[in-house]
Chain A
Amino acid sequence: MSSDPSRAEALVSKIQVFEPHKASLPPMGPYLREFWRRRRFAVELARFTDKAEHLDSPLGSVWLVLNPLLLAMIYFLLVTIIGGRGSAGSSRFDVLAHILVGLFTWYFAQNCMTFGGASVTAGGKLILNQAFPRALLPLSSLIGAFQKFIPTLPVYLIIYLIGGALDSKSKLPGLNWHLLWIPVMVALVAISGFGLALLFATMNVYFRDTSKLMTYGARMWLYLSPVLWMPDMIHGWHRILIWANPLGPILSITNTVWIKGENPSWTLWLGATGWAFGLLLIGGYFFVSRERDFAVRI
């Protein structure tokens, strides 16, 4: 941090030139520099938005954990009622543990999509009146979703350990070295989530009903993802459900690490990394190449 930020800033933004553009990227060097320099804005926006949301709800943050917990209970009941006893010999708690960790991970990505998707249209006034790298708005949604996700991890760990110990039929591995993969897994979900946020934020500017459609789309996507069912349940060409699904590989990795206690295969890692950076590149290109039009479209 320089001792005199205003002086440093004056040097950066001394002469600016505004010129016409095609539907292509602005010079990425200066863009990313400005993006990084103003990251504090994204952090504070996430914090303030959170504050505004919970002003009138003392249970606000509790709900963040409670909501997926209750949903997991509902899905668990559904799955066990419809599926009967499930596959032979498997413990019911293991199924619950799988659904729960899948839902927590899923909600992290879905929050990125929903909040990120609305971030640009919600920041209308700011976009009309201030010039700044617009990608900071979806970034702020990512930070917000991350802050909502983090408290669910210790909650899950407690349920996971206590339930695994109480249920004699449980085959959960408990604490094991593979759990050290968690930071990598979270990072991959975050990168995918940011890509999705950029993508849907842009779509929402052009088609205002995107966020409405997304509610249904996300629900369908959830059913097609290995959250309510185990990734091992499908075989042969049905496995395309996992590979063609941007969140399929990472959700399978989550299952492998937490439920099976094994090292995920390198193909899964490759799939998850590929989707994460693919989404980031596609979403980033889509967003940044069009963001100069946002002020007209809003």
Chain B
Amino acid sequence: MTLQYASKPEMPEGLAVRIEELSLRYKINVESKMTLKNAIMRAGRGEKRRVRTIEAVKNLSLDIPHGTVMGVVGANGAGKSTLMRAIAGILPPTEGRIIVNGKVSTLLALGVGFNGTLSGRDNIILGGLAAGLEREELEARFDDIASFADLPNGFIDMPMRTYSAGMYGRLAFSVAVNMTPDILLIDEALSTGDAAFKEKSFEKMRQLCLEARTIIIVSHALGTLNELCNKALWMHQGNALAFGNATKVTDQYLEFLNVGKVPSALEDF
């Protein structure tokens, strides 16, 4: 199942992400918790582990040029988040490959704040260091991050468990966009902020696009996607059903939602 490319990959100029025949599969445990006790008991009964293979992404090929703002739509379980994690290099492909040209910054289901007992400030520093930034660089950007997130007085030094969902989202977004990424991945994080912050995030994303940075957004807010994106990808049960002009794709998706049927003309895409 391995495909090891010995040669250095060729990446056409102007492409931010190239996805070649990508498939992602993983097994999930159907049974209760994975514990040594259960494993031994199962072995004693001579049973096999009950697993289910999930095909999250099936044979997807896609070229995303620099400066694209791509929306990803699809029903729950379509493989959108898995695809994002693969582009970020978190999940390894099962087949095919992904070539990424540039620095990726992720905002996947709220990346910062993994430790609720630590303050927002500490979480920002830890997340940034894990992403490979230098401490000095982080300190220098800290004011930008904090002022963009614009949390209520003093919250930046409070433990993150005291944050509301909206504050969480604001901080996470602020970290992701202020890391000066070449490629920004955003997963369902736009819905947490209030109207004013939403407007501010749009502004920031437009600005990032003007700097020819690439943004990939997973969201269920089709109106938002239409407003922000120039391209869209519709995924359904691991397959890419449509890729192209954002409004066109979201219209098709909307039609599918209303009719509840996959248009047969699109199935071979």
Using A5-B134, A19-B4 as known contacts, say yes or no to A126 and B127 having CB atoms under 8 A apart: yes
* CB neighbors of A among B1-32 (8 A): 1-5, 9, 11, 26-27
Whether a CB of chain B sits under 8 angstroms from the CB of A210 is yes
Whether a CB of chain A sits under 8 angstroms from the CB of B153 is no
Q: How many residue pairs between the two chains, A and B, have CB atoms under 8 Å in the bound complex?
A: 150
How far does the alpha carbon of A49 sit from the alpha carbon of B180 in the complex, in Å?
A: 28
Query: Do the beta carbons of A17 and B97 come within 8 Å of each other?
Result: yes
How far does the alpha carbon of A235 sit from the alpha carbon of B229 in the complex, in Å?
A: 76
Per-position binary interface string of chain B over residues 126-163, scored 1 when its CB falls under 8 Å from any chain A CB and 0 otherwise: 11011111111100000000000000000000000000
Query: Do the beta carbons of A14 and B115 come within 8 Å of each other?
Result: no
- Interface on chain B toward A: helix, strand, loop, or mixed SS? loop
- Nearest neighbor of A205 in chain B, beta-carbon distance: B34
Query: Do the beta carbons of B129 and A130 come within 8 Å of each other?
Result: no
Query: Do the beta carbons of A126 and B114 come within 8 Å of each other?
Result: yes
Whether a CB of chain B sits under 8 angstroms from the CB of A22 is yes
> Which among A9, A20, A131 is the interface contact of B3 at CB below 8 angstroms?
A20
Query: Do the beta carbons of B135 and A52 come within 8 Å of each other?
Result: no
Using A41-B126, A208-B34 as known contacts, say yes or no to A9 and B103 having CB atoms under 8 A apart: yes
Query: Do the beta carbons of B93 and A132 come within 8 Å of each other?
Result: no
Chain A contacts of B92 at CB under 8 A? 18-21, 292
Query: Do the beta carbons of B5 and A128 come within 8 Å of each other?
Result: no
Query: Do the beta carbons of B130 and A15 come within 8 Å of each other?
Result: no
Least Cβ distance of B77 to chain A in Å? 15
Whether a CB of chain A sits under 8 angstroms from the CB of B125 is yes
How far does the alpha carbon of A126 sit from the alpha carbon of B115 in the complex, in Å?
A: 9
Chain A contacts of B4 at CB under 8 A? 19
Query: Do the beta carbons of B131 and A130 come within 8 Å of each other?
Result: yes
Query: Do the beta carbons of A38 and B129 come within 8 Å of each other?
Result: yes
Whether a CB of chain A sits under 8 angstroms from the CB of B230 is no
How far does the alpha carbon of A142 sit from the alpha carbon of B187 in the complex, in Å?
A: 33
Whether a CB of chain A sits under 8 angstroms from the CB of B94 is yes
Whether a CB of chain A sits under 8 angstroms from the CB of B71 is no
Q: How many residues of B contact A (CB 8 A)?
A: 58
How far does the alpha carbon of A55 sit from the alpha carbon of B117 in the complex, in Å?
A: 9
Whether a CB of chain A sits under 8 angstroms from the CB of B102 is yes
Which residue, of B34, B85, B89, B110, has the highest number of chain A Cβ atoms within 10 A? B89
> Which among A16, A21, A55, A207 is the interface contact of B99 at CB below 8 angstroms?
A16
- Interface on chain A toward B: helix, strand, loop, or mixed SS? helix
- Nearest neighbor of B88 in chain A, beta-carbon distance: A131
Whether a CB of chain A sits under 8 angstroms from the CB of B266 is no
Which residue, of A18, A38, A128, has the highest number of chain B Cβ atoms within 10 A? A18
Whether a CB of chain B sits under 8 angstroms from the CB of A60 is no
Query: Do the beta carbons of A19 and B130 come within 8 Å of each other?
Result: no
Whether a CB of chain B sits under 8 angstroms from the CB of A85 is no
Least Cβ distance of B122 to chain A in Å? 5
Whether a CB of chain A sits under 8 angstroms from the CB of B259 is no
Query: Do the beta carbons of A18 and B85 come within 8 Å of each other?
Result: no
Query: Do the beta carbons of A125 and B111 come within 8 Å of each other?
Result: yes
Query: Do the beta carbons of B99 and A296 come within 8 Å of each other?
Result: no
> Which among A16, A45, A51 is the interface contact of B100 at CB below 8 angstroms?
A16
Per-position binary interface string of chain A over residues 230-250, scored 1 when its CB falls under 8 Å from any chain B CB and 0 otherwise: 000000000000000000000
Query: Do the beta carbons of B35 and A48 come within 8 Å of each other?
Result: no
How far does the alpha carbon of A132 sit from the alpha carbon of B122 in the complex, in Å?
A: 18
Query: Do the beta carbons of A18 and B133 come within 8 Å of each other?
Result: no
Whether a CB of chain A sits under 8 angstroms from the CB of B254 is no
Whether a CB of chain A sits under 8 angstroms from the CB of B106 is yes
Whether a CB of chain B sits under 8 angstroms from the CB of A136 is yes
How far does the alpha carbon of A52 sit from the alpha carbon of B90 in the complex, in Å?
A: 27
Whether a CB of chain B sits under 8 angstroms from the CB of A213 is yes
Whether a CB of chain B sits under 8 angstroms from the CB of A57 is no
Least Cβ distance of B112 to chain A in Å? 8
Least Cβ distance of B142 to chain A in Å? 14
Would you list the 9 A-B pairs with minimal beta carbon distance, nearest first? A125-B114, A129-B111, A41-B129, A131-B89, A209-B35, A52-B117, A207-B36, A5-B134, A18-B98
